[in-house]
A and B are shown apart, each in its own frame.
Chain A
Amino acid sequence: MLNLITDPNLQWILLGSMLLGISTGVVGTFAYLRKQSLIGDTLAHAALPGICIAFMLTEVKSVGLFMIGAIVAGMIATVGISWITRYSRIKQDAAMGIVLSVFFGLGIVLLTQIQHSSYGNQSGLDKFLFGQAASMTAKDVYTMTSVAVVLIVVCALLFKEFKLISFDPGYARGLGFSVAMLEQLLLWLVTIAVVVGIQAVGVVLVAALLITPAVSARYWTDRLGVMTVLSGLFGSLSGAIGTWVSAGTAQLPTGPLSVLTATAVFVASVLFGPQRGVIARLVRRRTAKRDWAAENAKQSGAGVGASAKERGVSA
């Protein structure tokens, strides 16, 4: 197992997965607080038409171009979600569902167009969508590093603003912040994190990296700063353990293992979280019950004594 850590190829993958985990964990915290956990799933699906159009326009299979297409499509999708929720009475979850299915449907139509026309084979397109962490190279890790740095710096600089719009957007508007713009910016950061993640772990599993670390972190603290750090930590831990286990066994893919590690952290948090955890709550309920029973016994005991005394006096 030790030689795994010294294997240079593995070091790149390990670093890449950890950086990805940090970035998705940090932006995921805000998405979770704004009840937009499923935005990752939506954006990952909405990337498909962008990738197809990028391919149709250039006829080149390059990951960089696909990423640009995916990011543009994701940004349009976030604008669509914001418009639907702002200008109609449709709620966020339904708006995300509409954007997800319509964009993905459009993507499938474009994909069949590519298949049926003279663009040649499109096998590279779905490889991009399903992700291959094990084929990560130094170049991908450079991209991930820069993305992670940008995301973390922006989140740190705008921490106060993001905190405000996560908890009380009405108050933020009252203070004169441009809430719509900040919300849009946050969604774009999520888009970038998701698109980088798709490449490594695939469409469905990138959603997990956005949600699961953030939910787990919520169980350990009531402070946003601590929660953000914890979430990034859980994310990178899941990435690291996933990579390590997958390198140790021959045929297991990294993405699903990272997600299952994150899920294990989540289950542990739900059970053992100090305040909100299931066990903590059970203990609290039991102590409250015992205290109440003791109090009751004392009172009723006192009550019986008092009444007996009274009776004695009257007799």
Chain B
Amino acid sequence: MSGFWIMLTGALVASCCGILGCFLILRRMALVGDAISHSVLPGIVIAFLVSGSRDSFFMLFGAAILGFLTVFLIQLFQQSGVQNDASIGVVFTSLFAAGVLLVSLNAQHVDLDLDCVLYGEIAYVQWNSLVLGGVDLGPKAVWLLGITLFIIVALMTLFYKQFKLCAFDPALAAAIGIPVALFHYVLMGLVSMATVSSFESVGAILVVGLLIVPPATAYLLTDRLGAMIGLSLVIGVISSVGGYYAAAALDASIAGCMVCVAGVMFVLAFLFSPSHGFVVRKLRQRVSAAREAY
């Protein structure tokens, strides 16, 4: 049973990240997920200091606020002329530094194991279950991620056209009256929500990896956004199931194995994709060179 819950959690994280990651890759903001997963630290520490408990609700609340703040600050600096990548980098590193400082300032009162809070372990998902009125309803993480996935899917189906246009041609989108800034914030808000709701239970590295690697793999396989999202979902789910079995076979970290499986699939697509693969391109070059010589 534990295997089932772990794979289900992994698949849910993969689905949330797979959908959002496609848009991040197209907008060249792939590393936002990484930034958010680091910059939530001060939020977690403050939530802990204020509430005095290690209840995951308060932690989640603090993390979510910092997630939105990160997104907002990145946008603010970008608008005042800082380069995109530099703006992400400055914001998340300084927030993380503030978090580390807060931890060491309160080291006597804070019994907060950083590794434990920041880098959750997917193997423990099933032990933390939601109990309502004495009935065990399954792991908390599954519920949280399920709700997040539902919100993402609902917003994406309602506003698919708008998100698509904003990703490919924001100028045109603005010209025909779509509130581009609003959709940008909604997308970033969703990313922050997905990151925060998954990292506590499955670990930051899995979120960051699944946010980038499956969509990038899908990007090499297709030229249509709809197909890219679909493929990225499939690749994400395969990585989480495959990663679980690989981890069981190797007796290694489950999250690490899931990311590695995704990495292997990326390398395969990079080499052998029928449209954009390395091998196919080289073959095509050789064929056209031969034809020319002929």
Contacts and interface: CB of A to CB of B under 8 A. Distances in A.
Contacts of B84: 35
A208 B97 CA distance: 9
Nearest to A111: B253
A41 B88 CA distance: 11
Interface in B250-264: 250-253, 255-260, 262-263
A113 B107 CA distance: 31
Interface in A276-298: 276, 278
A94 B260 contact: no
Interface stretch (B137-145, B151-159, B166-174, B208-216): B208-216
A38 B89 contact: yes
Residues of B contacting A: mostly: helix
Interface in B52-86: 77, 80-86
Contact of B89 (A88, A106, A208, A256): A208
Given A89-B220, A109-B260, A270-B77, A205 B96 contact: yes
Nearest to A102: B263
A215 to B, nearest CB: 5
A205 B93 contact: yes
A107 to B, nearest CB: 8
Contacts of A266: 90
Contacts of A88: 220, 270, 276, 278
- Chain A's interface size range is 35 or more
Contact of B31 (A93, A112, A113, A204): A93
A126 B83 CA distance: 32
Contacts of B208: 97, 100-101
B83 A102 contact: no
Contacts, number: 189
Contact of B213 (A35, A98, A251, A259): A98
A11 interface: no
A102 B209 contact: yes
Interface stretch (B22-30, B175-183, B188-196, B227-235): B22-30
B29 A259 contact: no
Report which residue of B84, B85, B270 has the largest number of chain A beta carbons within 10 angstroms of its beta carbon: B85
A98 B212 contact: yes
A108 B256 contact: yes
Residues of A contacting B: mostly: helix
B131 interface: no
Nearest to B211: A97
B30 A89 contact: no
Given A100-B34, A102-B262, A105-B255, A205 B88 contact: no
Contacts of B33: 97
Interface string B97-137: 11011001101000000010000000000000000000000
B94 interface: yes
B128 to A, nearest CB: 21
A32 interface: yes
A102 B259 contact: yes
Contacts of A37: 83, 85-86, 88-89
Nearest to B80: A278
A104 B77 CA distance: 29
Given A88-B220, A208-B94, A101 B100 contact: no
B164 interface: no
Contact of A215 (B25, B82, B211): B82
B244 interface: no
A98 B38 CA distance: 17
B241 interface: no
B256 A38 contact: no
Report which residue of B34, B107, B276 has the largest number of chain A beta carbons within 10 angstroms of its beta carbon: B34
A90 interface: yes
Interface string A70-104: 00000000000000100111110110111011101
A116 interface: yes
Contacts of A259: 93-94, 97
Nearest to A35: B85
19 contacts: A35-B84, A41-B93, A84-B270, A87-B281, A88-B220, A89-B276, A94-B216, A97-B31, A97-B212, A101-B259, A102-B209, A105-B206, A107-B256, A109-B252, A205-B97, A212-B93, A251-B107, A259-B94, A260-B94
Q: Which 9 A-B pairs have the closest CB atoms?
A: A105-B259, A208-B93, A101-B209, A108-B256, A102-B263, A97-B212, A256-B97, A259-B97, A263-B94
Given A207-B89, A263-B97, 7 more contacts: A89-B276, A96-B31, A97-B213, A113-B251, A208-B90, A255-B100, A260-B101
Interface of B: 25, 28-31, 33-34, 38, 77, 80-86, 88-90, 93-94, 96-98, 100-101, 104-105, 107, 115, 205-206, 208-209, 211-213, 216, 219-220, 247, 250-253, 255-260, 262-263, 266, 270, 276, 278, 281
Interface of A: 32, 35-38, 40-41, 84, 87-91, 93-94, 96-98, 100-102, 104-109, 111-113, 116, 126, 204-205, 207-208, 210-212, 214-215, 251-253, 255-257, 259-260, 262-263, 266, 270, 276, 278
